[in-house]
Amino acid sequence: MMKIQMMHGSGGRATNELIKDIFETEFDNDVLSQMEDAAVIPGDATIAMTTDSFVVTPLEFPGGDIGRLCICGTVNDLCMRGAVPKYITCGFILEEGADVETLRRLVKSMAATAMEAGVTIVAGDTKVIEGNGGIYINTAGVGFVPKGVDIKAKNAAAGDTIIVSGNVGDHHATVLSQRMEIKNSIESDNAPLQEMVGNLMESGIPVHVLRDVTRGGLATVLKELAVASQLTFEIEEEKLPVDPQVKSFCGLLGLDPLYMGNEGKLVAIVPDDQAERAVEIIRNSKYGKDAAIIGKVSLPGGEDPKGSLILRTELGGRRYLDILQGEGLPRIC
């Protein structure tokens, strides 16, 4: 079984052969095949850019792998500003001893996910370092924001409705199950959300805020949005969509699904009179069938300071939620 060796990062023949054998084979397109130092890409609209690094273990897990994850993560970050994702770059950090066939599967997964998301991988880099066979990937993405689209955290308004696009905690529960060798049938939800967001944009609904639910989980995301808007967010526990298996898994380990991350879910905040229509559009989109309205945005007042996130419990109580504190859970991306 062929392993990555230091010579694969030398910039010489071994590097060239690795690039041609694995990366060019899967990522082939007109821009990348020019093999220039920088990709020259067309575009004359407002540009959205993002970058992220992916270091998750295990590299492959039920429902996905680090290759699919890095494309989805970058595509989704662009979508959350209303941008249409177009181009992606990828940098590989390979530890000596990494399995070449595993790398080949991951690259193939990246290519398939990029095709699904409608993005082109236009540039890349590979470095090999001493280590124990790890594979890490950095991706950067470029998208274009259509005229008139202005989606950002501060746009939440009093009276708005909060929607989540599906079950929370699936990806985190999957990664944690794999690392703890707990057998179950939970699968990661990692998915590109450009179709879902595109459907919302085409509907003409004035979407105020979009945010993907990743590290820190739904509670952290909503708390950050509440602070950014200086408004009060209140969600209802009984309306939160959680897969029964994930709920049981969390119950066994004493975990809170509100702080379990996803890689294929988003929060949408829209005017209340458009909420039912928006949730139906999400439910009719790929990866959105379990979407639900979970809460409201209101002006701060009384005992609730600006930026509060409140959970209305199934027993009728009120619980203040904060961002995730400390590490606590394994890295999910």
pLDDT digits (tens, 9 = 90+) for 217-265: 999 999 999 999 999 999 999 999 999 999 999 999 999 999 999 999 9
Q: What does the pLDDT average to over 98-115?
A: 97
Q: What does the pLDDT average to over 197-220?
A: 95
Q: What is the C-alpha to C-alpha distance for residues 59 and 258, in angstroms, rounded to an integer?
A: 25
Among 7, 44, 68, which residue's Cα sits nearest to residue 264? 68
Q: What is the C-alpha to C-alpha distance for residues 266 and 261, in angstroms, rounded to an integer?
A: 11
Assign residue 152 a region: left if phi > 0, alpha if psi is -120 to 50, beta otherwise? beta
Give the DSSP per-residue string, 141-154.
EEEEEPTT----GG
Q: What is the C-alpha to C-alpha distance for residues 58 and 174, in angstroms, rounded to an integer?
A: 10
Q: What is the C-alpha to C-alpha distance for residues 245 and 249, in angstroms, rounded to an integer?
A: 6
**Cα distances (Å, whole numbers) of residue 9 to 16, 109, 301:** 9, 22, 59
- What is residue 99's predicted lDDT score, i.e. its pLDDT? 96
- Among all chains, which residue has been given the structure tokens 């809170």? 256
Higher-scoring residue by pLDDT: 232, 1? 232
Our measurement of the distance from residue 37's CA atom to the centroid of its chain's CA atoms, rounded to an integer in Å, reads 28
- What is residue 329's predicted lDDT score, i.e. its pLDDT? 65
pLDDT digits (tens, 9 = 90+) for 280-332: 999 999 999 999 999 999 999 888 889 999 999 999 999 999 988 766 566 77
- What is residue 62's predicted lDDT score, i.e. its pLDDT? 97
Long-range contact list for 20-25, CB < 8 A, 24+ apart? 22/100, 22/103, 22/104, 22/107, 23/107, 23/124, 23/126
Backbone angles phi, psi at 203, to 5 degrees: -70, -20
pTM over 0.85: yes
Per-position b or e across 150-168, b if 16+ CB within 10 A of its CB: ebbbebbbeebbbbbbbbb
Percentage of the residues of the chain whose pLDDT score is greater than 90 = 82
Please, what is the average pLDDT of the chain? 93
Among 125, 151, 165, which residue's Cα sits nearest to residue 23? 125
Asked if the peptide bond before residue 85 counts as cis, ω within 30 degrees of 0, the response is no
Question: Where does the pLDDT of residue 150 fall: very low under 50, low under 70, confident under 90, or very high at 90 and above?
Answer: very high
- What is residue 328's predicted lDDT score, i.e. its pLDDT? 55
